[in-house]
Amino acid sequence: MTAGDDRTGVSPTQRALWTFLGYTLVGPFLAALAIAAAMILAPALRLAPLLPDGLPAVGAAALAAFVWSAIPAALTALALLPSVIRRGSTSAPMTAAAGVVAFAAATVLFPISYPTLLTMLALLAGLVALAVRSVLLSTGILQI
């Protein structure tokens, strides 16, 4: 083992790479899945009035969410990498905050079509960041 390796044999550089890949690949998938689930379940849960008029079909919305969320996912990963390299992990509050701030930055760079959903989508961004952190913890990429 080289300097900086932990007892699992994973170097900080490897941990950082897998963290970045985890956020940029798993994050958009989970975001698209959440958007599709929300659109499908909203009428059944009588929450359809909360959704704006003129939304695209579920598949198109999920695909658009997948593609668009790659940017905030990458920004989230970049924000968390210093902590991952130094400590081997991130805290839950830091992760959620990074997800929300990265979402806000991405909406400034690439505005979304439904600005009335910004608050709900920002919450979703934080939850997706926490879900990706959970996946990375369960796979051993991040340390507890």
For the segment 57-83, what is each residue's pLDDT rounded down to a tens digit? 999 999 999 999 999 999 999 999 999
Q: How many CB atoms lie within 10 A of CB 48?
A: 11
pLDDT band, residue 7 (cuts 50/70/90): low
Query: How many residues appear in the chain?
Result: 144
Concatenate the DSSP letters of all residues of 37-63 into one string.
HHHHHHHHTT-GGGSPTT---HHHHHH
The reported pTM is 0.89
pLDDT band, residue 2 (cuts 50/70/90): very low
Residue 4, pLDDT > 90, answer no
Residue 5, pLDDT > 70, answer no
Interval 9-18 mean pLDDT? 90
Q: Which residues contact 10 (CB under 8 A, 6 or more apart)?
A: 140, 141
